[in-house]
Amino acid sequence: MAGLAKRNPPADVYAAQCPSRGVLDHLTSRWGVLVLVALAEEMHRFSALRRKIGGVSEKMLAQTLVTLEEDGFVERTAYPEVPPRVEYRLTPLGREVAVKVESLVDWIEANVPRVQRARAAR
């Protein structure tokens, strides 16, 4: 048991080399947050997801989806059809974190006026 603890020390986002930093970066990036929240609502195909997330380029959306898939948050399903059809949905791990991210998004949307007033007062 002690040897296991040495190989897998507890995560510490304050430690520069901790892998949790990468996960934090992926989950809290502008596009990562929006992809998680959009997929929390329902499964999306790439083009529908791009339309839903205004301002994201095809390249950034593709990179974000690959990263979130590598982290185990998003599942990509490709169907052997012509034209090809690919669907994206959250994994159970993705659904779990999406609940947390959605709370932050909800708070931001509800409090934008307060933030704008604070900015204007400076």
Asked if residue 6 belongs to a domain, the reply is no
pLDDT at 6: 58
3-state SS, residue 91: coil
pLDDT along the chain (122 residues), means of 10: 59 89 91 97 96 97 97 96 92 97 95 96 92
Tokens encoding 26: 């992926």
Asked whether residue 72 is assigned to any structural domain, the reply reads: yes
Asked whether residue 3 is domain-assigned, the answer is no
Q: Which domain holds residue 69?
A: 11-120
What is the per-residue pLDDT for 1? 45
The count of domains in the chain is 1
State pLDDT tens for residues 64-97.
999 999 999 999 999 998 888 999 999 999 999 9
The whole-angstrom separation of Cα 40 and Cα 10 is 28
CATH number at residue 65: 1.10.10.10
Asked if the structure places residue 64 within a domain, the reply is: yes
Radius of gyration of the chain (CA): 18
Report the pLDDT value the prediction gives residue 73, as an integer from 0 to 100: 98
